[in-house]
Amino acid sequence: MDRSTAGWLNGFMGVLIFSGSLPATRVAVMDFDPVFLTVARAVIAGIIGLLLLVLLKQKRPAGREIVSLLVVAGGVVVGFPLLTALALQHVTSAHSIVFIGLLPLATATFGVIRGGERPKPAFWFFSILGSVLVAGFAATRDLNASPVGDLLMLAAVIVCGLGYAEGGRLSRTIGGWQVICWALVLSLPLMIVVTFALMPPSFANIGMPAFVSLGYVSLFSMLIGFVFWYRGLSQGGIAAVGQLQLLQPFFGLALAATLLHEKVTWSMLAVTVAVILCVAGARRFAR
């Protein structure tokens, strides 16, 4: 198997795992405070990441790598989980998933800035067109109902794109699973302090679905998914493999409808399909 094909397969596995993140977060914030959920998931994943690094005797990152790891941590360990958890108090997971259509553009943009990639002009045409469709959907349909939720999701996409691109770039030198593990470990001291500060006095009123969702976003969304995702970005290219994120709305909407019984409207499906077609065109010109 060549490196590019391996990158696409690893990227697909990462996207498949990430697709359950927003529905699981939606369930978790019904019982957990969104800030506590953010730090608790980082602590659980961080402890596992620390154990992996110690047991497998990984070399400590250099000073320049630590700066990049802090960028990764700010984007995907803290920023995206916190902003989406806050957003999901205002919007449904089905609605928020549509915003994931902006992630390929954000990731590709930061891939150019931080990764040195140079997609062809046609790539940007298709990517921007897809982004306009997503933004237009939010502005014309649900923005009046919850501008706060939509703005939080937009901010989440931006910081996540930066974290993805920075992690993909760094994976070329220190490895995919090492990037997310070190980012989690660097965040761990602060996350532990905040977790204990925000811990609810009792867990008696927390339902089992919320605990299961916490487990999913901690183990899969925060750690295992990134092992595949960062490896895929480093193997197949940040801008190119980043387009696989357009499959995430399909998987996420299906989960939201099946597990949470949320209403998935025809307009949501239409804009998701339209964006995916646009970015499919962009993928052709990613290199």
pLDDT in tens, 123-179: 778 778 877 777 676 556 544 557 888 889 889 999 999 999 999 889 888 888 899
pLDDT at 58: 92
Q: Can you tell me the distance from the alpha carbon of 164 to that of 66, in angstroms, rounded to the nearest whole number? A: 16
Could you tell me which residue, 178 or 7, shows the higher pLDDT?
178
Q: Give me the mean pLDDT over the 29-58 stretch.
A: 93
Neighbours of 140 (CB within 10 A): 10
Q: Can you tell me the distance from the alpha carbon of 12 to that of 20, in angstroms, rounded to the nearest whole number? A: 13
The CA distances from residue 265 to 93, 103, 272, in Å, are: 13, 21, 11
- Phi, psi of 145, rounded to the nearest 5 degrees: -75, -40
Helix ranges (DSSP H) in 99-247? 103-115, 121-137, 147-174, 176-198, 208-216, 225-236, 238-242
pLDDT in tens, 248-264: 777 766 776 777 676 76
Comparing CA positions, the residue from 167, 279, 172, 228 lying closest to residue 15 is 228
Q: Give me the mean pLDDT over the 60-74 stretch.
A: 91
pLDDT in tens, 107-121: 888 888 876 777 778
Q: Which residue has the tokens 């989980």?
A: 81
- Per-residue confidence band for 181, with pLDDT thresholds at 50, 70 and 90: very high
